[in-house]
Amino acid sequence: MLLVGLLPARPRLVMLADGATAYGSWWRRLVVGAVGGVVPIWRGAGSAGFRAHTKAVRRTIDDGLVFSLFPETGRPARPPALRRLSPAVAYFSLRTGAPIVPIVFGGTDELFLRRRVVVRVLAPILPPALVPEIGSVEERDAARRLLAELRERVEPVAAELHARSLPQPGARRRWRWLTGPFPRPE
């Protein structure tokens, strides 16, 4: 929801999200429609599903909309460490020609009333000018390089923003339910 509040209303924001979660109830469908849209991920779709997602992402970008995804995946990490980054972000960039524009958040690990959240938009990471053949060793290598560059740029900024967002010692943490029942690092 932070992105929705930070980005302009036009062009509309389209996010990659779990289909069952995004469309699981009437009010979620209403919210998705109001804020932009979703490229839904349906579990068990395999490589055919990824090709369909890539086509949907390309259509989104070609239509002049803003495509967004949170590339972290897997188990939660204790801030400021990052979780594993999904290679999907690199493959979408390679296959659409769109740059990766990292947006880094600090202070979202634990939400409560008046919690400081710090956001920074980093310089775009451009895909290579020469597009490797889909499914080739060269494409996998290019995806690894893009992902490594993304991690290298984001890690120090994530650490800095996390430190800047830490609450003052003794700060009251009211409305901690805002964090919700999301997975947390042990």
Residues of the chain with pLDDT under 70: 1-2, 4-5, 8-9, 45, 180-186
Distance CA 22, CA 36 (A): 12
Q: According to the model, what pLDDT value does residue 30 have?
A: 83
pLDDT of residue 182: 57
Q: Under 8 Å CB-to-CB from 181, ≥6 apart: which residues?
A: none
